[in-house]
Structure formats: structure tokens, C-alpha cells
Amino acid sequence: VPYEPRSVAASCSLSSKETYDYIVVGSGPGGLPLADRLSEAGHKVLLLEKGPPSSGRWGGTMRPSWLSGTNLTRFDVPGLCNQIWADRNGIACTDYDQLAGCILGGGAAINSGLYWKPHPDDWNQSFPLGWKAPDMQAAVDKVFARLPGTTTPSMDGKLYLPQGYNTISAGLSAAGWTSIVANDQPDKRNKTFSHTTYYFSGGERGGPMATYLLTASQRKNFAFWTNAGVKRVVRTGGHVTGVEVECGGSSGVISLTPTTGRVIISAGTFGSAKILWRSGIGPKDQLDVVKQSGDGSTMVASDQWINVPVGNNLYDHVGTDLEIAHPNVVNYDFYAAYNRPVQSDSQAYLNGRTGILAQSAPNFGPMFWDIITGADGVNRHLHWQARVEGSRGTSMTLTQYLGTGSVSRGRLTINSQLKTIVSKSPYLNDNNDKAAVVQGVQNLRDALDKVSGLTWVRPSKSQSSSAFVDSIPTTPGSRNSNHWIGTNKMGSDDGRSGGTAVVDTNTKVYGTDNLFVVDASIFPGHVTSNPTAAIMIVAEHAAAKILALPFPAAA
């Protein structure tokens, strides 16, 4: 029943004649802050989520037997996050060729919870005017006031199995890299290292589902439905009047408040592009594919199509995995913790939210950073994350992400089964991007060279950094980081007239007057580190901009 404060989502009600001031599509780190801020401002808001509930708080039920009788699911326990690699049935979206969460919370229900205040360059290098670092500070503060994050997720304040962290950080320190508290010093991301910051709280995942969604759900002017997927927006020219929703095997149209209603699409880098294409918004070649698909007979007429470059500007952190081994490193079997947990560990977690299972699998840390200035004068940011995982019992994998400053881009397209496809890989299409990755690998090898007892597994001692980087294919299968951005790029260069942008600097889709996109898909370029915090910050900033926008005059 809509409009009652609730602890679980209502089921969809397609015959409802209710109208809404805002319909927010998608409950990831983009959609949840929006839904909260818009309802906080007194508007009548409906949040539509395609997937099922995740966290026990919201009625989720997927749990191993040792969580029976609790209100916890696999999504709530940080140490069980690796389960996504073992079993993603009913959790991952099936209509993309890449991994994404189609579940309440989106990526924030299934990810490892790594959580970073962005470096000023993250905004300044690629975001448009109005979205530079000083403009974003208020939104940064709002997000971190709601969700401060922690470097010690276990409720006893201890870090468990820190041997890997200690080994690598001692090596970096000896090589002159500096220890920082990452979220206290977001501008220090050059030859620095820190403990891992998570958005977890109370020993559980928490995150936007336990903050923004919680406050929204307490308002009578807020409703949310799970298992309710949006097929397309319904529009007349540039004015959206509602959304077509599919749930429980049927479909129907949920309408906006006439004239002043608005739709915010926050369905993620793949999902938001797909909804736009199905709504007749995108490049002609992609709309032609939709026209030929099962959607064709009910698709908006071609003279109503809005030609903007949806799907271009696709990017993801370029992942490059190195592996070392060291006798001090202690491995923990997080996969076994699902069905056969070490009794003392599961009890510690259940009794007081303490121990190794309050930390993300597979035991991350340290995190470290490097900035490489390219021959083109651009500063490229490298984020490194170490985790206890690899081919040996004493291995650690050191993953390098190339983010801020990278200029390579790919393309997302849609096929006739309406599945989104990464048709042009976005990794290392630019020589200076590649040179930064190679230099970063070399800098790390130099830094860890003197660590006594450390063995390089990958690359081997004899392989050059350049040959090593060349040996890894530049395909999503070998390089993806699951940090996809960019398909609905934000900018002031209107994509209808040869520009690169799909949404303007108020996040409104060009050619429409009440359709917005707010999620990772609007990022013009990447940020330095794992993007969840940055996406929430973008959502806070967008909420303020959208709330300040005047409504169109009544016809």
C-alpha cells in the first residue's frame, strides 16, 4: 500500500491511478539519494526497482543457513560479498553482457564497500562548469555526514589478518611513499597509501540502503516498488507523461503529475542507456535496432526520436592485476565462509559483529596511489588495491586502476534481443593511457624491490613492465573493474547538434523538458578510485540542481 511508512517495499500496483511528482527509476547509489532528497522536499515520489529486495532490512531472504533466524542476508555481511563470484543467480542483470546488480541497492548491495572521497582532479579534469571541486564540496559534505565510512569495520575496532597490509605498506614506506588517512586527505593521492575505507556501519553493509532509503521510507509521500522494471518513458515530443512498468508478468503505465511531474532515470550505465534507447532517445543506428526488436510495434514514432549520443563515452577503470607472494601473508577462505564458516568467526560475527567476517572479502589493503604526467601534459591517476588472493596460499593480487585523466573511450550498443553489449572496448586505446599504466607498474616494482622474501609471480622478474602490460588483452574479460561510467555523458555541448553530451548540466536529457538521468552513466570521465561515493555525491548535487529548476508553464 503506497504512502504508509514501511520496512519493506510494496508490491507494484499497475492499475493505480495515483500520479507522482517524481518517478525515480533504479535504487543504486545514484537513485537512492535522489529519492530521499526529492521526498524530503515534500514531493510525492515513487522509486521503481527492477530487482528483488537484498538486505534483510527490506525483506531480502537470500542467506546461508548460519544466518537463519536473523534479519541478515548474504548482502548484509561484508565477509560474504565474494559470493557474487560464486552465485549471481537472481541478483545480476541478465540483459547486459557485463556484471551489474539488478537488485535493491544495485551495485551497493553486491560490491565490496570500498568508499573514497574524490580527489579535486576527479571533478576538475572532466566535469563541466558547475561541477568543479569547489561546486561539489557541499555535496561531498552531505554524503559523508550521512555515511562517514570506516577503516575498522569490525565492531571491536580491530583489523583482522593484517599481515598482507603490513607487508606491502612497509615496502611502500621504505621506498618513500607516505601513509595517509585517505578520506581525511583526499587531495593526497600521489605516492601515498592507506588502510581501506568502507561505507559499512555497525558491522554490516549498511550504505545508501541503510541511510537514504531508510529516511525516505519513513515519509508518507514516498513509495517504492521492487520487482518493477521500467520498459520506457512515455512521452509526447520532449515532455514525459509517465513510465511503462513491467511487473508480475504484466505491464502498465504509471503517470506523472500533469505539467510539473518529472522522471529521473538512475538505472546505471547499462540500464539507463537501455531505457533511453527504448524510449526513442539515442543515435539513429541504435534506435533502428530497437525498432526491429520485440519493442518495435509499440515504440515511439521515428519522427519523435531524439538523436543524442547515448552509448558513446563508455569507460571503466582499466584493471591491471599483478601478483606477489610473501611468507607472511595469511589467506582466509571467504568462499567457504558461506556454507562452512569457521565456527568461532561466524559466532563472533553473530554475537557482536566482530572479526574477519565484518571485513570485505578478500581482505583488502593497503590501497595506494600514484599520479603519472603524460607526454600530453595530462595527469593520470592510478589507484592500486591489494587483496589477499592469488595462485598461491601466500599470494596477494595488486590491482591497478587507471581512472582520472584517461582519455580512452568505448561504446555501448544494444542488440535485437535488447541486450546491451560493450561493442567497443574502452581500455588503453590511447598511447599516453598505456604509458601511464606501464610507468605505474614499473614504479610499484621499484618500490617493492627491496622487500625481503617477496616473490613476483606476475610479472616475473625477467619480464619488462611494458611487455607485461602488452601481454594482457584490452578486453572487458581481462581488464574490467565493474566501474562502468559515461554512456549518458553530461556536458554543455548538446548532443543533438554534434556535441558529445546526452544530459545538460542540470542532468536533464537534451530535447526533453522533464526527463533526467542521474547515476554513473552521466560521468564525463572517471574518478581516481572506486566510484560509489562519487556517484552518491553526484546524486546529491543533482538533487539540489533539479529541485532549483523552474517547472514548465501549464499548457
Ligand X SMILES: Cc1cc2nc3c(=O)[nH]c(=O)nc-3n(C[C@H](O)[C@H](O)[C@H](O)COP(=O)(O)OP(=O)(O)OC[C@H]3O[C@@H](n4cnc5c(N)ncnc54)[C@H](O)[C@@H]3O)c2cc1C
Per CB under 6 A, the segment of 324-332, 372-380, 405-413, 531-539 that binds ligand X is: 531-539
Rounded least distance, CB 32 to ligand X, Å: 8
Would you put residue 428 in left (φ > 0), alpha (ψ -120 to 50) or beta? left
Asked if residue 169 lies in contact with residue 178, where contact means CB atoms within 8 angstroms, the answer is no
Q: Rule CB under 6 A: is residue 520 a binding residue for ligand X?
A: yes
Asked if residue 331 lies in contact with residue 393, where contact means CB atoms within 8 angstroms, the answer is yes
Residue reference for cell 597490509 = 165
Taking the C-alpha atoms of residue 332 and residue 61, their distance in angstroms, rounded to an integer, is 26
| Residue type present at position 375 | A
- Scan residues 490-519 and list those touching ligand X (CB under 6 A): 519
φ and ψ of 220, to 5 deg: -75, -20
Q: What is the DSSP letter of 315?
A: B
Q: Rule CB under 6 A: is residue 49 a binding residue for ligand X?
A: yes
Q: Rule CB under 6 A: is residue 36 a binding residue for ligand X?
A: no
Q: Rule CB under 6 A: is residue 454 a binding residue for ligand X?
A: no
Rounded least distance, CB 450 to ligand X, Å: 31
Per CB under 6 A, the segment of 112-120, 248-256, 329-337, 346-354 that binds ligand X is: 112-120
- For residue 85, how many other CB atoms are within 10 A of its CB? 12
Rounded least distance, CB 69 to ligand X, Å: 27
Q: Rule CB under 6 A: is residue 527 a binding residue for ligand X?
A: no
Is 119 marked active-site?
Answer: no
Q: What is the DSSP letter of 347?
A: H
Q: Rule CB under 6 A: is residue 30 a binding residue for ligand X?
A: yes
Interface residue with ligand X among 12, 33, 43, 51 (CB under 6 A) is 51
Compute CA 512 distance to the chain's CA centroid, rounded to the nearest angstrom.
26
Rounded least distance, CB 34 to ligand X, Å: 10
Per CB under 6 A, the segment of 10-18, 120-128, 144-152, 267-275 that binds ligand X is: 267-275
Interface residue with ligand X among 126, 400, 482, 512 (CB under 6 A) is 482
CA gyration radius, the chain: 23
Taking the C-alpha atoms of residue 308 and residue 500, their distance in angstroms, rounded to an integer, is 8
Q: Rule CB under 6 A: is residue 271 a binding residue for ligand X?
A: yes
Q: Rule CB under 6 A: is residue 531 a binding residue for ligand X?
A: yes
Tell me the CB-side half-sphere exposure of residue 417, using CA atoms within 13 A.
7
Query: 385 or 439: whose CB is closer to ligand X?
Result: 385
Per CB under 6 A, the segment of 59-67, 412-420, 424-432, 530-538 that binds ligand X is: 530-538
- Tell me, by CB under 6 A, how many residues bind ligand X: 40
**Angle 194-148-202 from CA coordinates, rounded to 5°:** 100
Per CB under 6 A, the segment of 34-42, 97-105, 432-440, 441-449 that binds ligand X is: 97-105
Taking the C-alpha atoms of residue 149 and residue 359, their distance in angstroms, rounded to an integer, is 13
Q: Which of 454, 381, 372 is nearest to 174 (CA)?
A: 454
Query: 171 or 203: whose CB is closer to ligand X?
Result: 203
Q: Rule CB under 6 A: is residue 486 a binding residue for ligand X?
A: no
Residue reference for cell 622474501 = 453
Interface residue with ligand X among 9, 23, 46, 114 (CB under 6 A) is 114
Query: 459 or 486: whose CB is closer to ligand X?
Result: 486
Interface residue with ligand X among 12, 34, 38, 100 (CB under 6 A) is 100
> Which own/partner contact pairs does 92-96 have at CB distance under 8 Å and 24+ positions apart?
93/50, 93/51, 93/270, 93/271, 95/274, 95/418, 95/419, 95/420, 96/270, 96/271, 96/419, 96/420
Query: 49 or 451: whose CB is closer to ligand X?
Result: 49
- Residues 405-434, mask of contacts with ligand X (x by CB under 6 A): ------------------------------
**Alpha-carbon distances of 146 from 36, 45, 206, 208, rounded to whole Å:** 12, 21, 11, 9
Q: Rule CB under 6 A: is residue 107 a binding residue for ligand X?
A: yes
| Cell numbers standing for residue 10 | 510494496
- Scan residues 169-188 and list those touching ligand X (CB under 6 A): none
Asked if residue 114 lies in contact with residue 150, where contact means CB atoms within 8 angstroms, the answer is no
Contacts of 393 (CB under 8 A, 6+ apart): 331
The residue annotated as part of the active site, out of 383, 483, 526, 541, is 483
- Scan residues 132-171 and list those touching ligand X (CB under 6 A): none
Query: 308 or 522: whose CB is closer to ligand X?
Result: 522
What is the sign of the dihedral through the CA atoms of 327, 328, 329 and 332? positive
Query: 276 or 436: whose CB is closer to ligand X?
Result: 276
Q: Rule CB under 6 A: is residue 102 a binding residue for ligand X?
A: yes
- Which segments of 236-335 does DSSP mark as H helices, in order? 268-278, 284-292
Interface residue with ligand X among 9, 47, 80, 84 (CB under 6 A) is 84
Taking the C-alpha atoms of residue 266 and residue 273, their distance in angstroms, rounded to an integer, is 10
Annotated binding residue at 538? no
Taking the C-alpha atoms of residue 330 and residue 410, their distance in angstroms, rounded to an integer, is 39
Interface residue with ligand X among 13, 28, 299, 374 (CB under 6 A) is 28
Query: 100 or 402: whose CB is closer to ligand X?
Result: 100
Query: 51 or 374: whose CB is closer to ligand X?
Result: 51
Intra-chain end-to-end CA distance of the chain, in Å: 32
Per CB under 6 A, the segment of 48-56, 334-342, 371-379, 545-553 that binds ligand X is: 48-56
Query: 245 or 454: whose CB is closer to ligand X?
Result: 245
- Residues 222-261, mask of contacts with ligand X (x by CB under 6 A): -------xx-------------------------------
Taking the C-alpha atoms of residue 508 and residue 263, their distance in angstroms, rounded to an integer, is 10
**β partners of residue 413:** 421
Burial of 173 (0-12, 13-18, 19+ CB in 10 A): middle
Burial of 325 (0-12, 13-18, 19+ CB in 10 A): middle
For binding to ligand X (CB under 6 A), which residues are involved?
Answer: 25-31, 48-51, 84, 99-103, 106-108, 110-114, 229-230, 266-268, 271, 275, 482-483, 519-520, 530-532, 535
Binding-site residue set for FAD: 230
User: Any idea which residues carry the catalytic annotation?
Assistant: 483
Annotated binding site: 230
